[in-house]
Structure 1
């Protein structure tokens, strides 16, 4: 990494930052119902599961309830995961030697899109799935902001995306390439789905975008000025706003 680069969560969007749990919680409220819908046909009692990049642990908690087994959670920072009976592993999953074990179902949401080593990590995650087990991966497709009728929202979201790409290597359109990566790894019964939630002013998806803008506000203001960023935040808070944000593309496959 160059001096300006960092891992996702080192500084930008760190779990230590005030408001990060609220930002992640808003994202979970939007996308958890879609994730549960995709996992429900696969998550049966008795399965050993692993949620990679578990964040607040909402998906892991659902998996533990659905499978009636302890869920393993892996994250670079596990401070928001304690007290719910998970098997917690605090680790950097980009380390080539890291392996949490062998599982019947491995899940990761909005994780690979933030990793420079995403192809290598996906290949290693595939090896954590036992033969006959499932790998389920979700990432973003940035459908909404670029076509928004609000110029301030368009510009602020575009600069935030550029900032994430240049700082942490994030790709907010990684999901557009799915499900080809799983097929390329030899998985069978490969499928995918696209979920596009609406953005309502003041709602959870709008609050997620506002939290994202506030977390990187100094850099956004440097590029756009206070007035544009404030206009975008006001648009996201306005109850009359009806727009789009990110879509979630989920791919799944069975390891032969």
Structure 2
């Protein structure tokens, strides 16, 4: 089993089983062995890559005939506010979230990739396609909703939202009276067909 990451520092000091090979790998630029894997799994990767369709084709080519590809991706376009202290709080969340999504698009990400991934897998030649979607409520102060805080903290200086609004946004994410739906996580699965006999 091969585990790859662009920056695998998170694995430093980790005791891997003998059958696991961690390695640094840039999925956009570094080669993959063809026809090598029974299973390839990528979670929340292609959404961020401008080259996502090229990378998808490379992942398919790395599968053995009959091998399976599993891609798990967010659909960031459906994040309804489920409960808020008032209408202004819901509006603030939507404003900041929209600014974050706009910045992602400008960088080449596709925030709606989750809803497109199964079709992209079909166009890449995979068959036996299936998908499931998981979502839950994220409450203020909880672990899930912290994703919004971390995302905003990383790009706060570049999203064009005032410091006052950002402070109010962070306070809102910590407020148990605020609840937003999680990003739906689409788990899409497909199989590389067996080659036709010559």
TM category (shorter chain) comes to: 0.7 to 0.9
- Aligned equivalent of 1:251, options 176, 181, 188: 188
Per the alignment, residue 79 of structure 2 pairs with 144
Counterpart in 1 of 2:125? 186
> Hey, what's the Cα distance between the residues in 2 that align with 1:228 and 1:93?
37
1:161 aligns with 101
SS at match of 2:125: coil
Q: Aligned-pair distance for 1:87?
A: 0.9
- Which is richer in strand? 2
User: C-alpha displacement at 1:217, in angstroms?
Assistant: 1.3
Alignment of 1:99 onto 2:32: yes
2:111 matches 1:211: no
Q: TM-score, normalised by structure 2?
A: 0.85
- The offset of 1:146, in angstroms, is 8.0
What's the CA shift for 1:100? 4.9
**In 1, distance between residues paired with 2:46 and 2:186?**
12
Local SS of the residue matching 1:131: strand
SS in 1 for 2:104: helix
2:81–2:180 Cα contact (<8 Å) kept: no
What is the deviation of 1:238? 0.7
The runs of at least 4 aligned residues of structure 1 exceeding 2 Å deviation read: 145-149
Deviations 1:3-47 (A, max 9, x none): xxxxxxxxxxxxxxxxxxxxxxxxxxxxxxxxxxxxxxxxxxxxx
Counterpart CA distance in 2 for 1:160 and 1:100 is 36
CA positional deviation for 1:237: 0.7
Whole-Å separation in 1 of the counterparts to 2:127 and 2:56: 16
Tell me the alpha carbon deviations over residues 34-64 of structure 1, each in whole angstroms, 9 at most, x when there is no partner.
xxxxxxxxxxxxxxxxxxxxxxxxxxxxxxx
RMSD: 1.9
Contact in 1 for aligned 2:81/2:179 (Cα 8 Å): no
Asked if structure 1 preserves the Cα contact closer than 8 Å seen for 2:82 and 2:179, the reply is no
State the TM-score, normalized to the length of structure 1: 0.66
| Cα deviations by residue, 1:227-254 (Å, 9 ceiling, x for unpaired) | 2111111111111222213111121011
SS at match of 2:145: helix
Of 165, 170, 185, the residue aligned with 1:228 is: 165
- The aligned counterpart of 2:3 is 73
Structure ranking higher on relative contact order (CA contacts 8 Å, 6+ apart): 2
Q: Take 1:188 and 1:177, find their aligned partners in 2: how far apart are those partners? A: 16
What does the per-residue CA deviation read over 1:107-140, in whole Å, with 9 as the maximum and x for residues that have no partner? 0111001001000000000111111221000111
Q: Assess if the C-alpha contact under 8 Å between 1:189 and 1:254 holds in 2.
A: yes
Q: What is the rounded CA distance, in whole Å, between the counterparts of 2:81 and 2:177 in structure 1? A: 19
